[in-house]
């Protein structure tokens, strides 16, 4: 039998919360272990991908114009929520790579890209899971 | 960080997330986690080993 959520929010706000800070919606619904798991997984995958040489694609840049499936890559990055925006601000300060070609030449770039988009998908799935809990379909 | 360790962390965390998303009961969840982890990690090892044979 499904357990009733303790607190309620409008669904759009819950989805926004889940997207922006991974695991926050589960924490709000009192699912602490699940919240920690999603927070750690998305955060670890995203920042590991940044360290291993992934790059985010943003509309209006030179990379966006030359990259294949650029819009989907942008969405994949954006799915990571706050991490995506933090990466835009701090990535150049963390890493020494200056050009996109340098990043593509890094040996671990393929691993990094896999981790980046997996983190985005997990974040979206965690939002869907939070919605199911909110509706009472899951415990 | 070696690719095997990276694959292990990937398989471990993704299996954990999938187990929580896909299964509601504790017992089912543990079984699903173990099964998904073994499939993920074995796939990584086998495909990684096979790709070594490719002339890349």
CA distance A19 to chain B (A): 16
In a domain, A2, yes or no: no
In a domain, B11, yes or no: yes
In a domain, B56, yes or no: no
A106 CB within 8 Å of a chain B CB: no
Determine whether the interchain pair A34/B20 forms a contact, defined as Cβ–Cβ distance below 8 Å: yes
B21 CB within 8 Å of a chain A CB: yes
Q: Tens digit of pLDDT per residue, chain A (139 long)?
A: 455 545 667 889 999 999 999 999 999 999 999 999 999 999 999 999 988 888 888 888 777 888 889 899 999 999 999 999 998 888 766 555 566 777 777 777 888 999 999 999 999 999 999 999 998 888 7
Number of domains in chain B: 1
B9: its two tokens? 């962390």
CA distance A17 to chain B (A): 18
Residue A24, pLDDT score: 94
In a domain, A61, yes or no: yes
* Partners of residue B20 in chain A, C-beta under 8 Å: 34, 37, 129
Residue B2, pLDDT score: 84
CA angle A3, A132, B41 (to 5 degrees): 105
CA angle A98, A104, A106 (to 5 degrees): 85
* Partners of residue A126 in chain B, C-beta under 8 Å: 17, 21
In a domain, A6, yes or no: no
Give the model's confidence band at B54: pLDDT under 50 very low, under 70 low, under 90 confident, else very high: confident
Determine whether the interchain pair A45/B20 forms a contact, defined as Cβ–Cβ distance below 8 Å: no
* Partners of residue A139 in chain B, C-beta under 8 Å: 24
CA distance A91 to chain B (A): 20
Residue A1, pLDDT score: 45
Number of domains in chain A: 1
- Suggest the residue from A122, A123, A132, A133 to mutate for an interface test with chain B (most B CBs closer than 10 A): A122
In a domain, A66, yes or no: yes
* A63/A55 Cα distance (integer angstroms): 10
In a domain, B32, yes or no: yes
In a domain, B38, yes or no: yes
In a domain, A1, yes or no: no
Residue A59, pLDDT score: 87
In a domain, A51, yes or no: yes
Structural domain that includes position A88: 11-135
Structural domain that includes position B36: 3-51
Backbone dihedral angles phi then psi of residue A86, each to the nearest 5 degrees? -65, -35
Residue A23, pLDDT score: 94
DSSP-assigned letter for residue B30: H
Q: What does each C-alpha distance from A34 to A2, B8, B26, B33 come to in angstroms?
A: 16, 20, 13, 14
B20 CB within 8 Å of a chain A CB: yes
In a domain, A122, yes or no: yes
pLDDT digits (tens, 9 = 90+) for B19-52: 999 998 999 999 999 999 999 999 999 998 998 8
């Amino acid at each position: 039998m499904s357990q009733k959520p303790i607190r309620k929010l409008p669904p759009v706000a819950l989805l926004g919360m889940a997207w922006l800070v991974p695991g926050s919606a589960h924490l709000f619904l009192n699912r602490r272990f699940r919240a920690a798991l999603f927070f750690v997984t998305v955060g670890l995958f995203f920042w590991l991908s940044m360290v291993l040489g992934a790059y985010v694609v943003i509309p209006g840049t030179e990379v966006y114009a030359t990259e294949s499936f650029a819009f989907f890559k942008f969405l994949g990055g954006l799915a990571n929520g706050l991490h995506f925006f933090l990466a835009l601000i701090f990535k150049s300060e963390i890493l020494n790579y200056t050009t996109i070609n340098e990043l593509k030449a890094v040996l671990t770039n393929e691993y990094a890209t896999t981790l980046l988009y997996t983190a985005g998908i997990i974040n979206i799935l965690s939002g869907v899971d939070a919605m199911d809990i909110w509706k009472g379909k899951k415990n | 960080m070696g690719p095997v360790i990276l694959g292990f962390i990937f398989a471990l965390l993704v299996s954990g997330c999938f187990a929580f998303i896909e299964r509601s009961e504790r017992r089912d969840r543990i079984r699903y986690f173990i099964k998904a982890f073994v499939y993920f990690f074995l796939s990584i090892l086998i495909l990684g080993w096979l790709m070594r044979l490719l002339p890349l």
